[in-house]
A and B are shown apart, each in its own frame.
Chain A
Amino acid sequence: MPTQRQIIAPLLTVPLLAAPLLSFAAPAAGPRPAAVSAPAPSPSPMVRGRQLYGISCASCHGQRGEGSQYGPSLKGVGAASADFWLSTGRMPLPNPRALPRHGPPAFGRRDIDALVSYVASFGPGPAIPAVGKGNVQQGLTIYLRDCAACHSSTGEGGALPAGRYAPSLTGTAPVQIAEAVRLGPGAMPKFGRGTLSDGALNSVIAYIRTLPRTSGAGGWPLGGVGPVTEGVVAWVLGLGVLLLVIRALGKRAR
C-alpha cells in the first residue's frame, strides 16, 4: 500500500523535469528586448558597449564621454570607476538631478563588462583593482580608524549631511569596496596607495567580510544601529510584556 508521499512524489517531479525544457524553449519563442542581458550573437563587447552607452549614458555624459551640463566627463575615469558605478546600481540615474543610490544593477554582468571596456577606451585610467588575501586583525584596526565613523562599526552605514548616506557594506562585493576606497565616490574620501597600501586595503576588506558572521552573535542584532533600537525593544518587549503580566495579575485579584 503506497503512502501519500509515494503517490505525490512522482507528480512533483513532472514540472521539475519540464522546467529546463521550458527555459530552453524561451529564447526560441521570440527576440528579447535589447536592454536585457545579451544573447551571444552581438559581435564584440566594444560594439555592444557603444550601443548600450548610446542608449543609457550618452544623454548626460556626451557621445564620446566628453561630459555635458548634466553629467561629468568620463575621459580618463578608467574601468574601476565605470565598474563601480554600474555594478552597484548607482548608474544610470533615473533623472540627471537624482542622488545616486545603491541598489540592484540595471544591466547584467556581461553588459556591464561591455560598458566598462567601452568607457575605459575614452582614455587611460585606473583599472579594476584585484582583491587578495588580507590580515583580519590589521583590517580591524584600520577599519575602526578610517571607516567606522561613517559606515559604522557594524558596517551597516549611517546618515551623512545633505540627504546623503554612507551605505551598508554588508552586501557589497569585495571588488566594489576596493573600487570605492580607491575612487572616493560621492561623499567618500579617496584613499590612494600612499595612504592605504594594497595590502592594507585587502586587510580592511577581509575584516568587513567577517562582520556578517560575528555581528549576529548574541541574538537578533536589531539592525546594528545600537542603543536606539535597543531602547525601543526595552520599552516594548521588556516593559510592555511586564505591563501585560501585572495587568493579568491585578485583574485576577479583583
Chain B
Amino acid sequence: MITRWAVRRVLLWLDGRVRIASVTRKTLAKVFPDHWTFMLGEIALYSFVSLVATGVFLTLFFEPSPAETVYTGAYGPMRGVRASAAYASAVTLSWDVRAGLLMRQTHHWSALVFLSAIVAHLSRIFLTGAFRKPREINWVIGLTMFLLGIATGFAGYSVPDDLLSGTGLRIAAATLLSVPVVGPWAAFLLFGGGFPGTSIIPRLYILHVLLLPGAIAALIGAHLAILIRQKHTHFPGPGRTQDNVVGSKMWPTYGFRSLALMCAVFAVTFGLGGLVQINPVWVWGPFRPSGATSPAQPDWFLAWVEGALRLYPPYEFRIFGYLVPAPFVPGVVMPALTFLVLYLWPWLDRRLTRGRGRHQVLDRPRDSPARVAAWAWGASFYGLLLLASSDDVVARYFQIPVFGIVRTMRIVVLVVPVAIGAVAYVLARALREDPEATLLDLRWRRIAAVIRRRPPDVEGGERRAAGAERPAASGEEGAGA
C-alpha cells in the first residue's frame, strides 16, 4: 500500500518536471515482432552489457603499463620473475584477486559471443533484405559497430602483454608496415617508434576501455533510436502490411521476454567464464620480442585475416616503382574490400533487384536466391579462412602435413565457396516456388527442374504467378505483378 503510494508520488513528481508519462506510454506500447530471429541483435546488446560490467571490474586491478616490475603473487612459477606491469597485473587478476579469473574469463567469453551474435544478426538482416530503404543508415551503423567491436577485441587481446598476444601484435605491426608508401610512417606513429616500444600498451588500453567502447555505446544508442523511429520490419503473413507492425507489446509481454534473454545471456557468459578456461595468460608467459609460442592464433573474429595471411603466397610486386609486400593484399586489401562490399550492399542490392521503394515487409531468404547465394559464398569463404588460420592445430589433431593443408586450402577457398553459393542459389530457387516447403521437403525432381530451366526469361512469368499468391514483397514489385 505504502510502496504503491510512494512510487506514485515519485512518478507524479517526475512527470511534473520532465513529462515522462507520454514517453513511457509510447515505450510500453511499442510492438516487437514475435519471430525469434528478431532477438539476435539483443544477444549482442546484452553481451555488450556483460562486457561493460566485467570490464569495469577489470580496470580496478589492471595496470596498462610496460614498466618492468617483479611479480610477487600466488602463482608460484612467476614469483620473483621480472615482467611488464601489464602482464604482472593480468596474472595478479587471474591468481590473486578474488573472482578476478571469473571476471577476466567472462569478459573474454562475452567478447567472443558479442561478435558472433553480431555476425548472426547481420546474416539475418542480410538474408531478409532488412537493410533496404529506409534502413540503410542502421545497416551502416551496425557494420561500423562490428568493425569497432573487432578493433576493441584486438586491443583487449593485446593489452595483457603475454607471449601469445605479443605475437599477434607483431603480425599487426608487420601488416601495417606492408602498406605501400605510408606503412612505415603509420606504424611509427601507432607504436611511437619501433616495435614494440613502450607506448603501444597504454595506447591500446585507452582505445580499449574508453574510445572504442564509447563509440560503440553511442552507436548502439543511435541504432536503437533509429529502430524506434522507423519501427520494426516483419515477415510477410496475414494482416501484415507495409504500414503496420504485427507482434507483442513491450508491456506486458515483450519486456519480460527480453529480460529473460538478458538473464540467459548472463548465464551463458558467466557460466562459460566460470567453467571453461579462456586465454590463460599465466601459461602463455610474459611477452619477449625474442620468444614465441605455438600454435598462435588471434581470436576468431580476426582469424579470417590470419587465415588469408597464411594462405597468400609470398608474392611481392611493384606498382609505380613502389614495393607491395606480401602481407598487404591478404592483410589490408582483402579485409578492406570485405567491408567496402558490405557497406555498399544496400545500394548494390537495389541495382540487382530494382527494388527502390520502402520496405517494411521482409523478404524470406528464398525470395532472393541471389542474396542467399552471396551469403552462402561469404559464410563458406570466411569460414574456410578461419579453418586455414587453424592449419597447425588441424595438422596436429588429424596428423596431416601442415604445408599440404596450406596448398590444398589455397585452391579450396577459391573454388568451394563458389560451388556452395551455386548450390544455395539452386535450393533457394527450388524453395521459392513453394512458400510452404522447407529444405527437408525438397525433392530431387524440383531441384532438377530448377537446374534444367534456364534463367532468366523462361521462368519470369512463373515467378510472377507464384508471387501473386503471397503478399507482395515490396510496393513496387506488388504493383508490377
Contact = CB atoms under 8 A, between A and B. Distances in A.
Interface of A: 136-137, 139-141, 143-145, 148-150, 152-154, 157-163, 165, 207, 210-211, 214-222, 224-231, 233-235, 237-239, 241-243, 245-247, 249-254
A242 B264 contact: yes
A222 B298 CA distance: 16
Given A224-B283, A246-B39, A140 B105 contact: no
B105 A246 contact: no
Contact of B43 (A230, A239, A250): A239
Interface residues of B, number: 77
Given A136-B76, A217-B277, A226-B296, A141 B81 contact: yes
Interface in B80-137: 80-81, 94-95, 101, 105, 108-109, 112-113, 116-117, 120
Given A220-B277, A253-B248, A227 B303 contact: yes
B261 A249 contact: yes
Contact of A218 (B76, B101, B288, B391): B101
Contacts of B80: 137
Contact of B36 (A140, A148, A241, A250): A250
Interface string B258-301: 00110011001100101111111011111010111111111110
B15 to A, nearest CB: 31
B298 A227 contact: yes
Contacts of B392: 158-159
B282 A214 contact: yes
Nearest to B260: A249
Given A144-B288, A249-B257, A253-B257, A215 B280 contact: yes
A136 B79 CA distance: 9
Contact of B283 (A214, A220, A241, A250): A214
Given A237-B276, A239-B120, A148 B261 contact: no
A254 B36 CA distance: 10
A145 B298 CA distance: 21
B94 A228 contact: no
A224 B42 CA distance: 32
Contacts of B95: 217
A88 B82 CA distance: 35
A211 B282 CA distance: 10
B280 A218 contact: yes
B396 interface: yes
Nearest to B300: A231
A231 B385 CA distance: 13
Interface string B134-147: 00000000000000
A182 B105 CA distance: 39
Nearest to B115: A234
B291 A148 contact: yes
29 contacts: A140-B77, A140-B78, A140-B285, A148-B163, A158-B295, A159-B391, A163-B402, A165-B399, A210-B76, A217-B94, A217-B277, A220-B277, A224-B283, A225-B393, A225-B396, A226-B164, A226-B296, A227-B300, A228-B297, A233-B276, A234-B113, A239-B117, A243-B120, A245-B264, A246-B43, A249-B261, A250-B37, A250-B39, A253-B34
B83 to A, nearest CB: 10
Nearest to B105: A218
Contacts of B265: 242
A148 B277 contact: no
Contacts of B61: none
A143 B279 CA distance: 19
A97 B267 CA distance: 53
A218 B277 contact: yes
B36 A249 contact: yes
Contacts of A154: 280, 283, 293
A147 B42 CA distance: 45
A235 B253 CA distance: 29
A149 B291 contact: yes
Contacts of B164: 153, 226
B241 interface: no
B95 to A, nearest CB: 7
Contact of B113 (A143, A157, A238, A251): A238
B77 A165 contact: no
